[in-house]
Amino acid sequence: MNRQLQAFPAFRLRPPADDSAPADVVDANDLVVGQVDAAAGGYRGRAGADSGPKRADALRAAEDAAVFHIALHGPADAEHQPYSSASEARAAVALIPLQRQEIVDAAARAYFFHALRQEHVTAILDGLEAIVREHFAIGTRGGCRRVARLLDQVRKPAQALLSQAAGDERDWMAFPLARLLAFTEMAAGRLGATATEPVSDLDGPFPDPHSADQALATAFRTYRDVQALANALPTLPEATLHALGTLDDAAAQLPSGPCAKNRADCRTAASALGELATAARNLHAAASDTAAEVHALAQELTAIAADTSARLNATALLLEDAGRHGSVRTILSTLREAELGGESDAGTRSVRVGDTETGPIRRTEDGRWTGPGITDPYRSPEGAAAALIDHFRERQAAARPHA
């Protein structure tokens, strides 16, 4: 009976026809991608000539074979699903820098005293440092795309080193590189999917002030990246220089401290980020073919600043409704019991508790939100949705027979 691999659900371990043969690791199409061999009281997963460490469990060895396959061929389509939450995405990305020590140790054995001067190893380690710095960028859709792009700074040198390593060098480096590549390939694909189909905690109000501060810091770091890249170029057209100056002016208006302590701070920061997004958009349009990297990074900054601005505006509206429910935490806690749908073309959003639709809520002409039984509209969709959920729970409680 085939057994699914827990770490890589698209792959399965198929038992051998007889005890003397290796077990096969197969993909979703039942194609063999590797084998698991018995090895002196344990098991080793292999793909082609590459093999992983000895494992006590055959399924762990099968996961090693899958790692080699993903490193060389990329993850299966089924592995490109969006993350269920920002915290899940951060946890997956956090695994990548944890591979640093394994890469360093393997490089020391493969290259001896020259390990940290091997160009691909150096590039990998630099890329891992960048991922550590940007770990908390995964708080907006634009931030997800930024981290996915930065993963290339790890992935490309790792792919280059794996493709050229041979002999003893490959024996030491193949599995650590493959494991690193498997994590980066899967994270990059899923971050892209998450940015395209964002989970609830990447849209709408920030769950806490610290998350807002992290998103603002990501926007500022991205601006500094644009600035550094532009300064490194020998010449730039006059239109691009003018757009860069406007971008510098907009960045100078960003808050230097906490940005979401209250409604006023949220609106001030949102306005400054809106100006930064506009300036970045103009730079993207002005950057010439000779500044292609500036052009691309300006687009990234536009998305991050616009996403963060929108979320801060949503946070300000939620703070206005907090008094009617007790606190922001109360509203967000209530919303965890339900599913708040996206806004339709008609300006409505569904509010489902289990299989029951308690809404929908709808946008009023003055931009507020109302729904069945709501006589005083709310400023935020979250406030209106929480009110409907509370009313639904009250009706449920009243309908229960009393002892």
Q: Indicate if the pLDDT at residue 262 is higher than 90.
A: yes
Environment class of 336 (CB within 10 Å of its CB; exposed 0-12, middle 13-18, buried 19+)? exposed
Report whether pLDDT(12) > 60.
Answer: yes
Mean pLDDT of 21-25: 92
361: Cβ–Cβ under 8 A, 6 or more apart, which residues?
A: 348, 349, 351, 369, 370, 371, 374, 381, 384, 385, 388
Flag whether pLDDT at 199 surpasses 80.
no
β-bridge mates for residue 51, sequence order? 46
pLDDT attached to residue 403 = 54
The tens digit of pLDDT for each residue in 55-79 reads 999 999 999 999 999 999 988 776 7
What count of other Cβ atoms lies within 10 Å of the Cβ of residue 77?
A: 10
Would strands 356-357 and 348-349 be described as parallel, antiparallel, or unpaired? Answer: unpaired
User: What mean pLDDT, rounded, does the chain reach?
Assistant: 92
Which of 304, 291, 308 has the alpha carbon at shortest distance from 243? 291
Task: Name the residue among 335, 325, 313, 348 with its Cα closest to residue 382.
Answer: 335
What's the rounded mean pLDDT across residues 115-138?
93
Q: What is the pLDDT of residues 201-240, one digit of tens each?
A: 788 999 999 999 999 999 999 999 999 999 998 888 888 9
Quote the pLDDT of residue 37: 92
Q: Is the pLDDT of residue 302 over 70?
A: yes
Average pLDDT over residues 29-58: 92
Q: What are the phi and psi torsion angles at 97 (to 5°)?
A: -65, -20
H-type alpha helices, 49-118: 58-73, 86-94, 100-111
Q: What is the pLDDT of residue 56?
A: 93
- What is the pTM (predicted TM-score) of this model? 0.88
